Amino acid sequence: MSSPVFRFPSIPVMTRFLCNHELLNTPDYQEMRLTQMVIKLATERFADSDRVEDGILFGAALIVYDLQQGEDGFSRKKILGFDLPQKKWTKLYNNIERVLFECAELSTPVMQEK
């Protein structure tokens, strides 16, 4: 069975797209520096890569988790953490997920191993 593959652009292109996206560029997110942290983590993890849908969903969840914990789960370095109500975390996850799918181009299907 094949799955669609999503191709992410380079870091500069992805950064411009994310900086200007209305779901991430809100006054609340800007004031908390949340937009900048999401862009940093998303570009480090997705730029110049190919992902299947589940990889994007999981990656968005990891970005939110890392922001909650105040630690980059890949590098184990401290990052700016945030203390938000669960409702806001859920909204942020949904926004990140949507923005990532909009940023990526749908590419050719790949064969998945069984």
Q: 6-10, 16-20, 48-52, 106-110: which has the minimum mean pLDDT?
A: 106-110
**pTM, 2 dp:** 0.88
Residue 23 pLDDT > 70 = yes
Boundaries of every domain in the chain = 2-104
pLDDT band at 1 (very low <50, low <70, confident <90, very high): low
Predicted confidence at residue 105, as pLDDT, reads 84
pLDDT at position 107 is: 58
Mean pLDDT of 33-52: 95
CA 44, CA 63: separation in Å to the nearest integer?
11
Residue owning tokens 């593959």: 5
Between these two residues, 3 and 52, which has the higher pLDDT value?
Answer: 52
Band (111; pLDDT cuts 50, 70, 90):
very low
Radius of gyration of the chain (CA): 14
Rounded to the nearest 5 degrees, what angle is found at the Cα of 24, between the Cα atoms of 69 and 3? 80
pLDDT more than 70, % of the chain:
91
| Calpha distance 15→86 (Å, rounded) | 27
Average pLDDT taken over every residue of the chain = 90
Phi and psi at 5, nearest 5°, equal: -115, 135
